[in-house]
Amino acid sequence: MPDLLIRSLTTPDGRPTDLGIRGSRLIGPEQLDHPHVIDADGLVVLPGLVDLHTHLREPSPQHAETVSSGTAAAAHGGFTAVFAMANTDPVADTADAVRQVTRLARKASAEVIPIGAVTQGQAGRRLSPIEAMHEAGTTVFSDDGHCVMDAALMRQALRRVGRFGGVIAEHCQDHNLATASACLPDSLLKDHPLLGSTQPGDPDALGATEEWPWSAESVIVARDIQLAADTGARIHLCHVSTAESVEILRWAKAHHLPVTAEATPHHLLLDESLLVGGDTLFKVNPPLRNTEDRAAVRQALADGVIDIVGTDHAPHVPGDKDKPFPQAKPGMLGLEQALGVVVETMVNTGLLDWTGVAQRMSVTPARIGRIEARQGRPLAVGEPANLVLVDPARRRVVDKNASLSLSRNNPYDGLTLPDPVVATFWAGRPTWTEPNFLAQ
C-alpha cells in the first residue's frame, strides 16, 4: 500500500493533527513520499479499540460465527484487537487449543488473542494446564458463561496466573443463587409476577423462568476481590450489571486492590422493561437490569470504578433463540454497535469525553490483557498504525441484516444510534472503511 496522509483529524483531546502511515507504522507527514491524501476534516482519531470479551465461536460445529466473520464485524466497529473467549467447542483448555485459535486468526481483520479456560472443560473441577497455555500465548483466563464456584480452586488458579502476571476474567454468578436456567432479574419478577407463572391462561407468562437476583452477582464480586487481595493476583470482573456490585468495586478501588471490571454496551443502554414481552433477543447473562442499576453502571464507568467496556459479543444461530424464553440461549451481538452505544450513553450525556472513550475502549483493555506494547498506543510517530476514525455526529438506524457477523441476534435492530466508525486501520492496513473513503 502506498504512503497515506490523513489530513485535518482531531485527537481525542481536541488538537488538530495530520497523520502519516507507511507500512504498519505512523510516521511524520514530512517524511512521506508522494502519499495518497485523504481529507478527514470533522473526524476524530482514536487508537484502535480493544475488546477483552469476544465470543468468536470457532472452533464450533454450529457456525454462529467464525474468526473471519467475527473480526470483520470487529473492524466494522473500530476494533483492532479482540480477546477470544474460551467457551468454544471444544473448549480452549489446552496449549494445542490455544495454538489452534492463533492459527485460525492468521487471515483475520483484527488481532486475535486467545483466552484460556480456567478449568478443564469449564467444568469447575480441575484446573487447566495454565502454565503451558501461557507459554502458547495466553495471559487471560476465563470460564465465562460459568463461574468458578469452588473458592479454593479459584484461589489456586489466581496464585498460578499471578506468577506470570496473568489475569482471570470471572463470570460473577453464584450458581446456588442463580442456576444455569435463571434468566430474569428479581426486580422484574417482583413487579410482574405473572412472568414466572406456569399456570394455564396467564397471558403474560414466560414459562418456568427462574430469577437471577442481584446478590448472585455481588457475592462473587466480593469473594473474588477478597481472593485477589489474599493472593496479590489480578482479577477482572466481567459484565458488571448491578448497583450493589458497583459499591463493592468502589471499596476495592479505594483499597488499591488488583481488581478491574467491565461494563457491556447492552447494560449501558438497555433495561429490564424489554424482557416483559418475552422476546428472547433480549435474553442475556447477566440479565438486563432496572434503570437504577443502569445509572449506577454508567456512573461507575465514568468514574473509573468500572475500567473498560467489554462487548460480550455473543452470536447465536437462529435455532438457539427461537425457543421458549427459559430454553433460549442468552447472548447478544455487540462488536459493531459498541462504540455507538458508548457515544450515546456516555459521550452525548456528558459522562465521558473522547479521551475517556479512548482510555476505556483501547488503552486500558490493552493494558489489562498485557498487549499494551502494540495496542492502545499513543497517536505518535513510530507507533503502530492501529487507528479508528470516527464521525462524532453521524447517526443511523441499526439494521441487523447489514451486520458482518454471521448471526442476527442484534438487540439494537431498528434503533437510531450514533454510527461513528468511518475507517479502521490495523497495522497500517484498512480493515474497514466507508465506501469511497480511500478513493478521495
Q: Is residue 426 situated within a structural domain?
A: no
Q: Is the peptide bond before 185 cis (omega within 30 degrees of 0)?
A: no
pLDDT band with cut points at 50, 70 and 90 for residue 188: confident
Task: Give the range of the structural domain holding residue 210, as residue numbers without chain letter.
Answer: 48-377+406-415
Q: Is residue 383 situated within a structural domain?
A: no
CATH (domain of 100): 3.20.20.140
pLDDT above 90 for 418 = yes
Q: What pLDDT, on a 0 to 100 scale, did the predictor assign at position 93?
A: 98
Buried b (16+ CB within 10 A) or exposed e, 292-310: ebbebbbebbbeebbbbbb
Q: What pLDDT, on a 0 to 100 scale, did the predictor assign at position 196?
A: 52
| CB of 352 closer than 8 Å to CB of 361 | no
Q: What pLDDT, on a 0 to 100 scale, did the predictor assign at position 206?
A: 58
Q: Is residue 327 situated within a structural domain?
A: yes
| CB of 52 closer than 8 Å to CB of 307 | no
pLDDT above 80 for 201 = no
Instruction: Please state the rounded mean pLDDT for residues 259-279.
Output: 95
| CB of 6 closer than 8 Å to CB of 35 | no
pLDDT above 80 for 345 = yes
Residue among 38, 96, 302, 260 nearest 168 (CA): 260
User: Whose grid coordinates read 487481595?
Assistant: 229
Q: What pLDDT, on a 0 to 100 scale, did the predictor assign at position 417?
A: 98
Q: What pLDDT, on a 0 to 100 scale, did the predictor assign at position 193?
A: 59
Q: Is residue 41 situated within a structural domain?
A: no
**What is the CA 124 to chain-centroid distance, rounded?**
23
Cα–Cα dist 245/234, whole Å: 17
Q: What pLDDT, on a 0 to 100 scale, did the predictor assign at position 179?
A: 87
Q: Provide the grid cell at 244.
A: 450493589
| CB of 85 closer than 8 Å to CB of 53 | yes
Residues that are catalytic? 312
Instruction: Please state the rounded mean pLDDT for residues 285-289.
Output: 96
Instruction: Please state the rounded mean pLDDT for residues 379-402.
Output: 98
Q: What is the pTM of this model?
A: 0.96
Q: What pLDDT, on a 0 to 100 scale, did the predictor assign at position 341?
A: 98
- Higher pLDDT: 202 or 277? It is 277
Q: Is residue 420 situated within a structural domain?
A: no
pLDDT above 90 for 192 = no
* DSSP output for 322-389: SS-TTTSPP-B--TTTHHHHHIIIIITTTS--HHHHHIIIIIHHHHHTT-TTTSS--S-TTSB--EEE
Q: What pLDDT, on a 0 to 100 scale, did the predictor assign at position 142?
A: 98
Instruction: Please state the rounded mean pLDDT for residues 100-126.
Output: 97
Report the mean per-residue pLDDT for the chain. Answer: 94
Q: Is residue 95 situated within a structural domain?
A: yes
| CB of 424 closer than 8 Å to CB of 432 | yes
User: Whose grid coordinates read 469525553?
Assistant: 353
Q: What pLDDT, on a 0 to 100 scale, did the predictor assign at position 197?
A: 46
* DSSP output for 202-224: -TT--SSPEEE-HHHHHHHHHHH
Q: What pLDDT, on a 0 to 100 scale, did the predictor assign at position 326?
A: 86
Q: Provide CB contacts within 8 A for 70, sequence distance 6+.
A: 54, 55, 56, 57, 58, 82, 313, 315, 335, 405
- Higher pLDDT: 179 or 417? It is 417
Q: Provide the grid cell at 135.
A: 507459554
pLDDT over 90 percentage in the chain: 89
Instruction: Please state the rounded mean pLDDT for residues 147-152.
Output: 98
* The most confident of 188-192, 276-280, 372-376, by mean pLDDT: 372-376
pLDDT band with cut points at 50, 70 and 90 for residue 195: low
Q: Is residue 175 situated within a structural domain?
A: yes
pLDDT above 70 for 158 = yes
- Higher pLDDT: 189 or 406? It is 406
Q: Provide the grid cell at 287.
A: 440479565
| CB of 11 closer than 8 Å to CB of 17 | yes
Q: Which range (83-92, 162-171, 276-285, 367-376) has the least confidence?
A: 276-285
Residue among 343, 314, 342 nearest 406 (CA): 314
| CB of 325 closer than 8 Å to CB of 374 | no
Cα–Cα dist 363/367, whole Å: 6
pLDDT tens, position by position, 231-266:
999 999 999 999 999 999 999 999 999 999 999 999
Q: Provide the grid cell at 164.
A: 506470570
pLDDT above 60 for 203 = no
pLDDT above 80 for 328 = yes
Instruction: Please state the rounded mean pLDDT for residues 27-31.
Output: 96
pLDDT above 90 for 211 = no
Q: How many residues does the chain have?
A: 440
Instruction: Please state the rounded mean pLDDT for residues 85-89.
Output: 97
| Total domains, the chain | 1
Buried b (16+ CB within 10 A) or exposed e, 206-217: beebbbbbbbbb
Task: Provide the 8-state DSSP code for 116.
Answer: B
pLDDT above 60 for 202 = no
| CB of 391 closer than 8 Å to CB of 422 | yes
| CB of 112 closer than 8 Å to CB of 82 | yes
Q: Is residue 97 situated within a structural domain?
A: yes
pLDDT band with cut points at 50, 70 and 90 for residue 184: confident
| CB of 240 closer than 8 Å to CB of 171 | no
Instruction: Please state the rounded mean pLDDT for residues 11-19.
Output: 98
